[in-house]
Structure 1
Amino acid sequence: MGHRWGTDGGPGIRSVKEREGGGGGGAGCEEVLVQRVQSAINHANVPLVVEGADGFLPDLPFHLIASGKFTNVGLVGGHCTNDGGTFVGGTPTQFNSEDDIRRLLFTRYSGVTAATMQRAFELYPAPGSPFKTEYERASQMAQDIVLGCMDLQLAQALCSRGVDNVFTFRWNSPHAVLFEETPFKGVMHTSDLYFLFDGK
Structure 2
Amino acid sequence: MYEGVVQGLIDELGRLPGVGPKSAQRIAFHILAADPDDVHRLATALTEVKEKIRFCTVCGNVAEAEQCQICRDPRRDPAIVCVVEESKDVVAIERTREFRGRYHVLGGAISPIEGIGPDELRVKELMTRIADGTITELIIATDPNLEGEATATYLARLVQPMGLRVTRLASGLPVGGDLEYADEVTLGRAFEGRRQLDV
> Is the pair's TM-score, using the shorter chain for normalization, greater than 0.5?
no
Quick one: higher RCO (CA 8 Å, sep 6+), 1 or 2?
1
Q: TM-score, normalised by structure 2?
A: 0.27
Name whichever structure is richer in strand by fraction: 2
TM-score by length of 1: 0.27
Compare CA radii of gyration and give the structure with the larger one.
Answer: 2
